[in-house]
Structure 1
């Protein structure tokens, strides 16, 4: 078997002991007779077997001359140290070992017959380039530091992975250029330095098989399991989203098994919540807590005894339980941390505090199902790794706090992505001033020359619908109470019951004829203060007990009243808002891709949205009026789509409600500033405030000379004040008519004057609907209602 067969390399490899043997030629004349005699012995072997000096690539010769090679290498592999040293002689760049110490042989024997010895971090795809780097050093004298530590990973008798570092001695190697080998110049070297991964360039400078390699390497190997385990712990704790990785915890178990030299151990964590003095589970794939067992959270006083509490939280020192069963018996099961281990079948354990100067952050838990396996002696090994675990937990806590802040910002006080850059810019300036000793000041965020767009899809008659639902619930509740009181009079004819019955009838009549804003509050007060004490009294009457219990069961526990129709109404409003907002958010993604702009939306009785677009919102000089026109057309089209989407899902809601859509056009640029107190943008300046006034009042505006609201179900209203806006939006309407979004019944309407606002007009046009996404037929609102009801 030729060692070069199937090997792509600039080196043609021959195993040779020539350079090694030259050392002995210098020792023949040594003053020490024993050294000289031994040198003659080694050289005699080489003389009898010249192939060992000349070199060979046939690996079968290694077996054929095994004893002779062992004789030559006797000094390098001293029999006296063979059981102590871990040493091999091998072919470089390949996993071919032909001589080794007894200890190394025993290590491989323990690993098992199926174990395949390989250098773990020798990248096969880089072996060619590494060989070229060796040539640069040997043949051209460039001091190129290409060396990196290599390792073996070999399991011991217990199946625990141990790590061995390999140190090469290449003193006995020769590299000789062949005649066809290109000579490397300084210019070539400079080019190679910047192109380590360009394999084609390296092959051009060092063609395959262009250099002869003669020799072998001696590897001195050291058990570095402890150091490598610590390094692996550091590596495992560095990086993003480790807790989401299914294999992370299993790898972590293996690392600790190597560190402690124990196969049957598991690792767990629990987080300490200082504010509540509780231990909490760490969430993540494969994460366990043996201190909490099945609990999500536990008070520290319930999880630890007084001594262990003080040890971990106050002294911040680890402790071990080498025999859980014995400790359980001794404490009579009263020590909670011992009891929880005993319940899980754990026989020995170590608890180590993860703490910094500010106090405890969590607990590292190491457990075994074998007694005395974990103890105070091997617990000392944790000292070397706790620093890295503490650092990782600190970083994790900071990341979690940042994530919490981000979620709060996203859900509660969102800074839209289009203006995020401006806030970051100001924050960097704030930090810079603070670091330079200046008084830091977060300046006002203002964007000038911004064009606003406003739209809303409003639930029509929402107040009337809520009042109707409230009235129905109160009628149901009062009717049930009326029945109970009438039956009470039959049981016990007390005048007070007749007086309560009279009041109930009065309320029922007022609900039927004259429901007021405060009717709900007054009736609830009457029930709470007058009737509930009566019910408590009457419940002792067995003839009324069942009816009273049925009434009480009809009362919602959260609001304390009958909450059937109002619940349907509230759930309908919430569902409409959720679906409309989600649709708008989804559509916004494509709009932002067209051109970045500020966007915000609000849930009321429907969904409102603000958009601002302009040069100052972006970092680049890229704004054009075409992007404003595009966004206006997009907004109109999306409002039509939202109307369609709503009526397609209307039948799914508990209460049937209608919606009406409106767009407000404002053709003058304005300024917006971020109000720190309200955590939102608002228009800036007295003139610009007119826009906000119109926004708040226009949906309630009437058509001039009538009592008809401008917003109507089945129609979309576009409110404006300038003739050029009318012309622009009529073009958009005509385009959307061609796409069957809008009907042909365009109205141009004047609005009655609002407070401080005059001259408003509106384009109003019917929306065309389709029953579902696959329906190609388009309907007016009235047609759609007929189709849905059929």
Structure 2
């Protein structure tokens, strides 16, 4: 039998330690067995001992590179003693090798197949392990052997190595290689230094340090090691899945599921199978579908979001009524007819399919789907192999639920919750006082309020946003109706149905009546006509007539996949609006941390058509720092300067927008301090007291206020409007305007305006100044 070795240049093992094949350790082991009373195979062992000792030459060390064919009869006896008679060389994986070296001189056929891909050299480095790690493991193994056999230290060392091997069908299996050194003697060359076991253990001496104390040149090895290999695919894959579950978090959730889906076919041991795991977490008590998991799913990856949600609900209803695996060995029209959610399996070339619900405490957590392109590949037979995997799937899906809850909480905290660092200290105090109160005496937690704080309000609005949105809706409806009209005319030339003429009439009527201003409910009426009358007929004709398929495919290709209608004008409007709002929000988020550096303040930002914000500053918000009016004046100057920056920022975004949108900027000046308190029901701060409510009323009603006696809107693109009630407020802002005009941020002219009376509010005035749009944004 040919000796299998690793490439000689990989490890340079001969330079590490001298190693020879020897049968003496094996014979000594047999002699110990024979000496034991009651050993059942003593006679057999004596025959082996006598046979070996009858040839003194066989007891000498044999160089590792010797041709062992002349020792065949001795090797046969050795194999018969070591391996049981039930061992099958074609099914079992084993070998006998030179100590320390990757050199195997007797091996089973399957061993050679797995560990010698080209038939001449051993695969010495397992998949996923570096060469440096293998060398370190080998030297560690060697020193533990020396310490155990020479110094008689009790060593608890692992002889197992996990290999990843490729199967002929392209799959992966895991095998555990055990290297047994019981038939190895360690020979000593020269005098040994003294080693204290207690000192050795307490210092945890590394192999590198041992090489200084005990050079390997002091030792040589004689004997042989036994390699045994077991298939541990199931246990190793389960361990990998456990690792996925334990390490899964928001940042790697999708990647964790992708890794899991590759492991499940390995556990099943079925080629040509793909697995898909889709979590069905709950939000407000209802199962929901996350797009990141559904896009590539055989059932739910249909492209159209409405249809995807429809299939999801159908699948959910089926699983709730039948919480057992749905097995379709041979996917055909008859087999999937009872299940509408499986409609697209044949189109995706899926010939065999299983839907396996993952449940816990009668709640559906998600599904495992198995698919194959080979008919009858999937049946109920292999599902028992998932019994150990199932609890891990439950854990992983529950983990996804926790991740989603964390993400929801992050959004809520970011978008809705008022607990910013500047005020969080007061909530912590209240919570601590609540915990200090004995349970039996606890009532409602104390209210959170801040007295004598100054409000600063600013609003960036999108000019004519509702008009722009209405125009986008009308243009989309008009385009789709014209597409329907043209499609029906062409279809009518091939299919002669009076109903088509009636639909053409309705389409033309809707087109003629589609008003420029788009009356309320008009879009719903048109959408209902398209969804309930046009789409079903066109789909039926598409499936029933090969000549019409290209025409109708062209029609459906122009529909937005997520909305099911022509939607590109609205999409362009929404993208343009989102671009502006995102730019404003990002700028304000950056500025929020900047303004906190001078004095702690509460900054509340929220979106309407544009972006609005309210800032509160005062002594009661600061836990330790002393408040002074200079911090308030500094913040008001920042407010005016930042509004100018936002005006330039949104102006320069204009050429990049698909729909031209302009912004207006407004500031409300309110010089009197107010009291705010936290409303637990709405999780935000609100003003307290009748006088303070006036401030809130003004905020809500000035967004569309007009200049008195002109009908002109106060807010105009390219300007900043500053609303005030008292002369001292106006005089303060004029100072800031003059300063920013000197820096060329604002244009020279200032408009002094009286405003029309609002319901419940009168006497408002305003300053209005133009922004220098030519100044670069960063200036």
Secondary structure at the counterpart of residue 238 of structure 2: helix
The residue aligned with 1:22 is: 28
Is the contact made by 2:160 and 2:177 (CA closer than 8 Å) also made in structure 1? yes
1:769 offset after TM fit, Å?
0.7
Mapping 1:411-426, distance limit 5 Å: 413-415=416-418, 417-418=420-421, 425=428
User: Which of 84, 98, 107 does residue 100 from structure 1 map onto?
Assistant: 107
User: Which of 95, 104, 108 does residue 88 from structure 1 map onto?
Assistant: 95
Check if 1:769 corresponds to 2:779: no
Check if 1:453 corresponds to 2:449: no
The residue aligned with 1:316 is: 323
Take 2:362 and 2:423, find their aligned partners in 1: how far apart are those partners? 33
1:317 offset after TM fit, Å?
2.6
- CA 1:352–1:661 in 2, change beyond 3 Å: closer, same or farther? closer
User: Which of 197, 208, 215 does residue 210 from structure 1 map onto?
Assistant: 215
- CA 1:608–1:156 in 2, change beyond 3 Å: closer, same or farther? closer
User: Which of 264, 268, 283 does residue 276 from structure 2 map onto?
Assistant: 268
Secondary structure at the counterpart of residue 616 of structure 2: strand
The residue aligned with 1:163 is: 174
Is the contact made by 2:7 and 2:121 (CA closer than 8 Å) also made in structure 1? no
Secondary structure at the counterpart of residue 218 of structure 1: strand
Give CA deviations for 1:459-504 in whole Å, capped at 9, x if unaligned: 89x89x99xx99xx9xxxxxxxxxxxxxxxxxxxxxxxxxxxxxxx
1:96 offset after TM fit, Å?
4.2
Secondary structure at the counterpart of residue 384 of structure 1: coil
Give CA deviations for 1:501-525 in whole Å, capped at 9, x if unaligned: xxxxxxxxxxxxxxxxxxxxxxxxx
Take 2:729 and 2:288, find their aligned partners in 1: how far apart are those partners? 66
1:296 offset after TM fit, Å?
1.7
The residue aligned with 1:501 is: none
Mapping 1:722-761, distance limit 5 Å: 736-742=740-746
1:634 offset after TM fit, Å?
3.2
Check if 1:50 corresponds to 2:60: yes
- CA 1:419–1:317 in 2, change beyond 3 Å: closer, same or farther? farther
Take 1:406 and 1:117, find their aligned partners in 2: how far apart are those partners? 49
Check if 1:152 corresponds to 2:163: yes
Take 2:160 and 2:350, find their aligned partners in 1: how far apart are those partners? 39
Is the contact made by 1:750 and 1:761 (CA closer than 8 Å) also made in structure 2? yes
1:639 offset after TM fit, Å?
1.4
Secondary structure at the counterpart of residue 374 of structure 2: coil
Secondary structure at the counterpart of residue 389 of structure 2: helix
Gaps of 5+ in 1: 194-200, 474-539, 564-569, 777-790
Take 1:571 and 1:292, find their aligned partners in 2: how far apart are those partners? 22
1:263 offset after TM fit, Å?
0.8
Give CA deviations for 1:181-212 in whole Å, capped at 9, x if unaligned: 8967867754549xxxxxxx763564497244
Check if 1:60 corresponds to 2:65: yes
Structure 2-normalised TM-score?
0.64
Give CA deviations for 1:605-654 in whole Å, capped at 9, x if unaligned: 86542123568768x85788687666444333211212334555679898
The residue aligned with 1:220 is: 228
- CA 1:163–1:687 in 2, change beyond 3 Å: closer, same or farther? same
Give CA deviations for 1:674-699 in whole Å, capped at 9, x if unaligned: 21344321234678667657767899
Take 1:4 and 1:184, find their aligned partners in 2: how far apart are those partners? 37
The residue aligned with 2:683 is: 679
Take 2:363 and 2:125, find their aligned partners in 1: how far apart are those partners? 45
Mapping 1:316-355, distance limit 5 Å: 316-324=323-331, 341=345, 344-355=348-359
Gaps of 5+ in 2: 1-5, 475-501, 525-569
The residue aligned with 1:594 is: 594
- How many residues in Structure 1 have an aligned counterpart in Structure 2? 668
1:663 offset after TM fit, Å?
5.4
Take 1:431 and 1:386, find their aligned partners in 2: how far apart are those partners? 43
The residue aligned with 1:582 is: 582
The residue aligned with 1:494 is: none
Take 1:687 and 1:437, find their aligned partners in 2: how far apart are those partners? 39
Take 1:358 and 1:434, find their aligned partners in 2: how far apart are those partners? 40
The residue aligned with 2:542 is: none
Is the contact made by 2:97 and 2:226 (CA closer than 8 Å) also made in structure 1? yes
Take 2:102 and 2:66, find their aligned partners in 1: how far apart are those partners? 17
- CA 1:233–1:444 in 2, change beyond 3 Å: closer, same or farther? same
1:78 offset after TM fit, Å?
5.3
Give CA deviations for 1:157-183 in whole Å, capped at 9, x if unaligned: 444422222334233456669879896
Is the contact made by 2:300 and 2:312 (CA closer than 8 Å) also made in structure 1? no
The residue aligned with 2:515 is: 554
Mapping 1:171-250, distance limit 5 Å: 171-173=182-184, 189-190=201-202, 192=204, 203-204=208-209, 206-207=211-212, 210-211=215-216, 212=219, 214=221, 216-238=224-246, 239-240=248-249, 245=254, 249=258
- CA 1:694–1:190 in 2, change beyond 3 Å: closer, same or farther? farther
Secondary structure at the counterpart of residue 746 of structure 2: coil
Give CA deviations for 1:366-418 in whole Å, capped at 9, x if unaligned: 2333344322322322333223223322332343355345546655x354654
1:259 offset after TM fit, Å?
2.0
Is the contact made by 1:111 and 1:157 (CA closer than 8 Å) also made in structure 2? no
Is the contact made by 1:591 and 1:631 (CA closer than 8 Å) also made in structure 2? no
Is the contact made by 1:27 and 1:36 (CA closer than 8 Å) also made in structure 2? no
Take 1:3 and 1:205, find their aligned partners in 2: how far apart are those partners? 25
- CA 1:66–1:649 in 2, change beyond 3 Å: closer, same or farther? same
Is the contact made by 1:292 and 1:298 (CA closer than 8 Å) also made in structure 2? no
Is the contact made by 1:82 and 1:102 (CA closer than 8 Å) also made in structure 2? no
Is the contact made by 2:279 and 2:365 (CA closer than 8 Å) also made in structure 1? yes
The residue aligned with 1:505 is: none
User: Which structure has the greater CA radius of gyration?
Assistant: 1
Take 2:636 and 2:189, find their aligned partners in 1: how far apart are those partners? 74
User: Which of 377, 387, 392 does residue 381 from structure 2 map onto?
Assistant: 377
Give CA deviations for 1:118-153 in whole Å, capped at 9, x if unaligned: 434655444566545874663777767564853122
Take 2:242 and 2:234, find their aligned partners in 1: how far apart are those partners? 13
Give CA deviations for 1:561-594 in whole Å, capped at 9, x if unaligned: 799xxxxxx9999999866643432222332343
User: Which of 664, 672, 687 does residue 669 from structure 2 map onto?
Assistant: 664
Secondary structure at the counterpart of residue 554 of structure 1: coil
Take 2:707 and 2:337, find their aligned partners in 1: how far apart are those partners? 81
Take 2:151 and 2:130, find their aligned partners in 1: how far apart are those partners? 25
Take 1:164 and 1:129, find their aligned partners in 2: how far apart are those partners? 21
Take 1:408 and 1:724, find their aligned partners in 2: how far apart are those partners? 36
- CA 1:265–1:419 in 2, change beyond 3 Å: closer, same or farther? farther
Is the contact made by 1:110 and 1:157 (CA closer than 8 Å) also made in structure 2? no
